[in-house]
């Protein structure tokens, strides 16, 4: 806005007060407008914004280019008639008439003449205290809160309402509160108790002496002027920080009481002194450049800290001595010391205001203490409001007129408002410290967040790794199972094929063109019949030969009886006899062979019948898989042909055939012995007759694979018996079996050997020997064959051995790691713990449970992966007894328990 029009000193109005011609309106009696101001809307009460002026300040003190021009604002308040006036002036009109809407005041000269003056505000006799505050003081108070100095001053004749306007406490009726109370109320409502300070001093100026109304003893306070800034202050005055409005009211009351007391003592009255209330406001603010933080400032913790500034401002409220004294002292020529002193300040104020209003070069500020104190209020940097109080009585018309003229002159005084800001270094350091602390805390927070994040990522990575590992292991396991399945499948197919081939082959062998089971059986029976016939023929021939021998013997006797000359004949006969004996022996031998052949054939026929009847496996050595079943068969039914033949031929003769030079004879004999050994009833007899020794000798000679296989089978059968087991050991059977295990390739041979060793493994007494004679190594070595039947026997052996070991450990007979672990069996055990073949799996599961029962094995088992298998067994094993054995075993072992805790395996 370019309306820089608040100055009285604009070109059109500059100069002395000039009565203007009355308007040409006939109904307006003689009147003149003493001064003129821009439209009221531009400086409406209450809003009172500070506006910049294009023109430079004409005041002496306000020379800074950074200030805002602000004219002293003047309001006139008319007191209502008091009781006395109502009576005395009853017949007279008031000497003033207010036209508040026009901001004009008419001062009547007489009944027909009046003079008109314009003021900033006109407050009629009915104006409320609140309105007076808002119009006169509020803009000044707001400026003080903004950091400017401010002054509100009441000027007027005694009894016109200066104290009423400024100093009323309104204790009973709050609407009666004056400007002092209301100003403090507003200030207190707008400052922050944490950062701002409000304090007051209350003084009286009487006869050029400043007294402290808050501390009466302090009755000569000097004014101190800063030589650099020219600021005046009263360091000697009591300055009390205000907590709240009540506190302030209390101080005002105290001040008022002291004022009355002081005046009584001095024998004077309050209208002769000036009362000055100084309110000091100290506010912390941000410097202007920091007030609007930039985007980068907001985001950065390292933004420059705002400059801490303190704005010190001062509100001065002055209840002046009655203005009549100025005039009295002058006009009435009173030269009394008192009058001079009292009025000195007031007349000096008038002079200063005149000088300022007339833009005079010299402003006599130093003439009085009042003008020195108010140096800043008129022509200084403060925002100043003057309230001129007048009474209505025509009797005081002269006083009222001069008061009005004072007000008119004051309106011409222009101040240059300036904010006083200081750096608050203490608060700067405090703020920097706070900011530093915040930054440190933030840094710590970020560091923690960073560490947490790193930890989280680590954990996540670990989880992912273990998940991938798990998935990988699962996939591997699946793949392994799949491969195993495929392998089993193909083995099964091969076996089926082999069986098919064998069956075909057998059909071809036993029947020339027909090929069915019954036919095969018949063909064997035919064979048996044929052999029987042959045998009968032989027997018949033998009988004939015997008869012939007897005949010859009787002839010989006759010859011996009849004469002597028959020596040569005797010799011939003797020779013939020897020939006959030799032939007989040969025939006997042949007969035994034939019988054993028949025995074997009978057995095979028997076997064939049984297998066809069962419609199951056609394994040639099924007898070994379940020897007891055969025993049962033989016991339940009538005697088998084998047993019958065995009785006919005699065990000794059959065993003797084991050493026959003829390979075929040996093979037949071995088969017979093996079959006999399958029956428990025969076992003892066989061993007693030296069969075991013969069998072991045969195993040692091993020139024929078939013999080895059958011998091993026979030994395996015999090894089922505990007494035999020890005999086998004593006769070096363990090492013999071990040697066979190492160099045999035929799966069935290996199966027999493994079965034999597995039986020996179950004997507590043989444990040490089994190891020292290589039995365990041999057993483990046979897994190379891979045939499930062999593996099953190996697993059985391991389980038996582990069981004996755990029994020995439990009884305190042995200590230390398991021989099985020592000999490297653990990897195979772990690998096959979940083998698809149920027998293998079951034996291994048992073996693991036995091994786990001895704590010394635990570490090796954990490192070898056996713990996982044990856990699996304890959860998934289909056999309840093994499952609970595994569970119990795991629970009993502190090492396993610790490992499971570490691996977070729930058990």
Query: Residue 95: is it exposed, middle or buried by C-beta count within 10 angstroms (0-12/13-18/19+)?
Result: buried
What is the Cα 660 distance to its own chain's centre?
Answer: 86
The residue among 162 and 842 lying less far from Mg ion, judged by its C-beta, is: 162
209 is in an annotated binding site: no
The residue among 370 and 687 lying less far from Mg ion, judged by its C-beta, is: 370
CA distances to 268, 321, 374 from 370, in Å: 19, 11, 6
The residue among 322 and 775 lying less far from Mg ion, judged by its C-beta, is: 322
Which entry of ligand ADP, Mg ion, none binds 380, CB below 5 to 8 A by partner kind?
none
Q: Report in angstroms how near the CB of residue 167 gets to ligand ADP at its nearest.
A: 8
Return the ∠ at Cα 897 (arms to 892 and 899), rounded to 5°: 145
How many contiguous H segments (helices) and E segments (strands) does the chain have? 36, 17
Which entry of ligand ADP, Mg ion, none binds 159, CB below 5 to 8 A by partner kind?
ligand ADP
The residue among 163 and 767 lying less far from Mg ion, judged by its C-beta, is: 163
* Length of the chain (residues): 907
731 is in an annotated binding site: no
The distance in angstroms from the start CA to the end CA of the chain is: 88
What is the rounded distance in angstroms from the CA atom of residue 67 to the CA atom of residue 57? 9
Q: Mention every residue, 6+ apart, whose C-beta is less than 8 A from residue 835.
A: 484, 791, 795, 841, 844
The residue among 274 and 777 lying less far from ligand ADP, judged by its C-beta, is: 274
158 is in an annotated binding site: yes
Residues within window 160-219 making contact with Mg ion, judged by CB under 5 A: 162-163
Q: Report in angstroms how near the CB of residue 319 gets to Mg ion at its nearest.
A: 6
CA distances to 193, 245, 387, 440, 552 from 185, in Å: 14, 6, 20, 41, 170
CA distances to 348, 351, 813 from 374, in Å: 11, 13, 118
Structure-block tokens of residue 535: 């045998």
The residue among 164 and 603 lying less far from ligand ADP, judged by its C-beta, is: 164
The residue among 403 and 600 lying less far from Mg ion, judged by its C-beta, is: 403
Q: Report in angstroms how near the CB of residue 158 gets to ligand ADP at its nearest.
A: 4
The residue among 62 and 318 lying less far from Mg ion, judged by its C-beta, is: 318
Q: Report in angstroms how near the CB of residue 129 gets to ligand ADP at its nearest.
A: 8
Return the ∠ at Cα 811 (arms to 805 and 814), rounded to 5°: 50
**3-class secondary-structure state, position 231:** coil
- Cα-atom radius of gyration of the chain, to the nearest Å? 70
Structure-block tokens of residue 185: 């109320």
732 is in an annotated binding site: no
What is the rounded distance in angstroms from the CA atom of residue 690 to the CA atom of residue 713? 17
Q: Report in angstroms how near the CB of residue 116 gets to ligand ADP at its nearest.
A: 22
Return the ∠ at Cα 444 (arms to 443 and 447), rounded to 5°: 85
The structure tokens 């006395």 sit at 84
384 is in an annotated binding site: no
What is the rounded distance in angstroms from the CA atom of residue 767 to the CA atom of residue 748? 25
CB count in 10 Å sphere of residue 321 = 25
What is the rounded distance in angstroms from the CA atom of residue 806 to the CA atom of residue 307? 86
CA 500, 501, 502, 503 dihedral sign is positive
Q: Mention every residue, 6+ apart, whose C-beta is less than 8 A from residue 554.
A: none
Query: Residue 785: is it exposed, middle or buried by C-beta count within 10 angstroms (0-12/13-18/19+)?
Result: buried
The residue among 318 and 729 lying less far from Mg ion, judged by its C-beta, is: 318
Q: Report in angstroms how near the CB of residue 176 gets to ligand ADP at its nearest.
A: 9
What is the rounded distance in angstroms from the CA atom of residue 771 to the CA atom of residue 779? 10
447 is in an annotated binding site: no
The residue among 76 and 599 lying less far from ligand ADP, judged by its C-beta, is: 76
Residues within window 150-169 making contact with Mg ion, judged by CB under 5 A: 162-163
Which entry of ligand ADP, Mg ion, none binds 149, CB below 5 to 8 A by partner kind?
none
Task: Report which residue's Cβ sits closest to ligand ADP.
Answer: 161
Q: Report in angstroms how near the CB of residue 101 gets to ligand ADP at its nearest.
A: 20
Which entry of Mg ion, ligand ADP, none binds 161, CB below 5 to 8 A by partner kind?
ligand ADP
Which entry of Mg ion, ligand ADP, none binds 82, CB below 5 to 8 A by partner kind?
ligand ADP
The residue among 162 and 383 lying less far from Mg ion, judged by its C-beta, is: 162
What is the rounded distance in angstroms from the CA atom of residue 759 to the CA atom of residue 722? 9
Q: Report in angstroms how near the CB of residue 389 gets to Mg ion at its nearest.
A: 9
600 touching Mg ion, by CB under 5 A: no
The residue among 308 and 322 lying less far from ligand ADP, judged by its C-beta, is: 322
Q: Report in angstroms how near the CB of residue 278 gets to Mg ion at its nearest.
A: 18
Q: Could you say which DSSP state residue 858 is in?
A: H
Contact assessment for residue 58 and residue 414, using Cβ atoms and an 8 Å cutoff: yes
Q: Report in angstroms how near the CB of residue 96 gets to ligand ADP at its nearest.
A: 14
Size of the site for Mg ion (CB under 5 A): 2
403 is in an annotated binding site: no
Contact assessment for residue 499 and residue 587, using Cβ atoms and an 8 Å cutoff: no
What is the rounded distance in angstroms from the CA atom of residue 222 to the CA atom of residue 237? 9
Q: Report in angstroms how near the CB of residue 62 gets to ligand ADP at its nearest.
A: 30
Task: Report which residue's Cβ sits closest to Mg ion.
Answer: 163
70 is in an annotated binding site: no
Which entry of ligand ADP, Mg ion, none binds 596, CB below 5 to 8 A by partner kind?
none
Q: Mention every residue, 6+ apart, whose C-beta is less than 8 A from residue 618.
A: 499, 502, 503, 611
Which entry of Mg ion, ligand ADP, none binds 305, CB below 5 to 8 A by partner kind?
none
Binding footprint of ligand ADP on the chain (CB under 6 A)? 79-80, 82, 156, 158-164, 271, 322, 389
Contact assessment for residue 17 and residue 408, using Cβ atoms and an 8 Å cutoff: yes
Q: Report in angstroms how near the CB of residue 326 gets to Mg ion at its nearest.
A: 15
Residue ranges in contact with Mg ion by CB under 5 A = 162-163
Annotated binding residues for ATP, as ranges?
A: 156-163
Annotated binding residues, as ranges?
A: 156-163
């Amino acid at each position: 806005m370019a309306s820089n029009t608040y100055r009285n000193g604009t070109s059109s109005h500059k100069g002395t007060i000039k009565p203007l011609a009355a308007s040409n309106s006939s109904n307006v009696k003689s009147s003149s407008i003493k001064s003129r101001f821009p439209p009221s809307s531009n400086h409406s009460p209450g809003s009172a914004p500070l506006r910049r002026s294009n023109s430079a300040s004409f005041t002496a003190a306000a020379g800074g280019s950074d200030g805002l021009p602000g004219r002293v604002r003047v309001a006139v308040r008319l007191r209502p008639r008091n009781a006395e006036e109502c009576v005395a002036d009853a017949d007279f009109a008031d000497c003033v008439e207010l036209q508040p809407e026009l901001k004009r005041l008419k001062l009547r000269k007489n009944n027909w003449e009046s003079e008109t003056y314009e003021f900033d505000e006109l407050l009629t006799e009915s104006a409320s205290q609140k309105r007076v505050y808002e119009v006169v003081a509020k803009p000044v108070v707001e400026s003080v809160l903004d950091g400017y100095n401010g002054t509100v001053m009441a000027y007027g004749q005694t009894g016109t309402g200066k104290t009423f306007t400024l100093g009323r406490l309104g204790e009973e009726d709050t609407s009666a509160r004056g400007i002092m109370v209301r100003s403090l109320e507003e200030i207190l409502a707008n400052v922050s108790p944490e950062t701002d300070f409000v304090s007051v001093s209350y003084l009286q100026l009487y006869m050029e002496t400043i007294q402290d109304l808050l501390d009466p003893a302090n009755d000569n306070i000097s004014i101190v002027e800063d030589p650099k800034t020219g600021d005046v202050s009263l360091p000697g005055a009591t300055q009390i920080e205000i907590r709240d409005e009540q506190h302030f009211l209390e101080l005002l009351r105290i001040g008022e009481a002291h004022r009355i007391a002081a005046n009584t003592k001095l024998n004077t009255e309050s209208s002769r002194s000036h009362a000055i209330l100084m309110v000091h406001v100290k506010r912390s603010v941000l410097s202007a450049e920091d007030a609007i933080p930039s985007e980068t400032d907001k985001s950065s913790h390292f933004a420059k800290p705002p400059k801490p500034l303190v704005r010190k401002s001062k509100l001065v409220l002055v209840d002046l001595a009655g203005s009549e004294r100025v005039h009295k002292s002058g006009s009435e020529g009173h030269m009394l010391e008192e009058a001079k002193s009292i009025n000195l300040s007031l007349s000096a104020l008038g002079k200063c205001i005149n000088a300022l209003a007339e833009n005079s070069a010299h402003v006599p500020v130093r003439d009085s203490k009042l003008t020195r104190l108010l140096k800043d209020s008129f022509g200084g940097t403060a925002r100043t409001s003057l309230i001129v109080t007048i009474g209505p009585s025509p009797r005081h018309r002269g006083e009222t007129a001069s008061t009005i003229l004072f007000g008119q002159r004051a309106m011409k005084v222009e101040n240059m408002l300036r904010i006083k800001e200081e750096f608050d270094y203490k608060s700067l350091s405090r703020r920097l410290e706070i900011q530093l602390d915040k930054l440190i805390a933030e840094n710590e927070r970020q560091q923690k967040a960073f560490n947490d994040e790193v930890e989280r990522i680590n954990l996540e990575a670990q989880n992912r790794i273990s998940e991938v590992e798990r998935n990988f292991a699962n996939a591997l396991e699946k793949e392994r199972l799949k491969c195993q399945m495929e392998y089993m499948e193909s083995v099964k197919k091969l076996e089926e094929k082999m069986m098919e081939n064998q069956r075909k082959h057998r059909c071809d062998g036993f029947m020339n063109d027909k090929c069915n089971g019954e036919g095969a059986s018949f063909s064997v029976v035919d064979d048996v019949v044929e052999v029987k016939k042959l045998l009968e023929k032989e027997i018949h021939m033998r009988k004939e030969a015997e008869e012939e021998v007897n005949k010859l013997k009787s002839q010989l006797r006759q010859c011996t009886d009849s004469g002597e000359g028959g020596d040569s004949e005797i010799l011939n006969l003797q020779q013939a006899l020897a020939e006959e004996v030799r032939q007989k022996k040969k025939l006997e031998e042949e007969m035994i062979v034939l019988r054993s052949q028949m025995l074997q054939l009978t057995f095979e026929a028997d076997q064939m019948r049984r297998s066809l009847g069962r419609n199951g496996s056609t394994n040639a050595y099924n007898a070994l898989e379940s020897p007891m079943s055969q025993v049962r068969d033989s016991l339940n039914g009538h005697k088998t042909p084998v047993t019958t033949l065995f009785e006919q031929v005699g065990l000794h003769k059959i065993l003797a055939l084991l050493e026959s030079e003829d390979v075929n004879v040996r093979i037949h004999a071995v088969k017979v012995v093996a079959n006999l050994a399958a029956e428990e009833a025969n076992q003892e007899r066989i061993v007693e007759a030296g069969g075991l020794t013969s069998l072991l000798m045969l195993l040692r000679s091993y020139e024929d694979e078939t013999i080895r296989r059958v011998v091993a089978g026979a030994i395996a059968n015999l090894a089922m018996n505990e007494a035999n087991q020890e005999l086998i050991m004593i006769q070096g059977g363990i090492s013999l079996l071990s040697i066979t295990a190492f160099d045999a390739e035929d799966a069935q041979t290996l199966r027999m050997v493994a079965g034999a060793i597995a039986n020996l493994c179950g004997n507590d007494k043989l444990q040490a020997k089994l190891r020292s004679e290589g039995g365990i190594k041999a057993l483990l070595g046979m897994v190379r064959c891979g045939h499930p039947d062999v593996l099953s026997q190996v697993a059985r052996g391991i389980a038996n051995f582990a069981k004996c070991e755990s029994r020995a450990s439990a009884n305190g007979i042995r200590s230390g790691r398991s021989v099985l672990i020592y000999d490297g069996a653990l990897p195979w055990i772990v690998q096959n713990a979940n083998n698809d073949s149920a027998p293998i799996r079951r034996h291994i599961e048992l073996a693991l449970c036995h091994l786990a029962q001895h704590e010394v094995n635990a570490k090796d088992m954990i490192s070898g992966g056996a713990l996982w298998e044990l856990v699996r067994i304890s959860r998934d094993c289909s056999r309840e007894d093994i499952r609970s054995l595994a569970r119990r075993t795991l629970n009993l072992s502190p090492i396993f328990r610790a490992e499971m805790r570490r691996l977070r395996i729930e058990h």
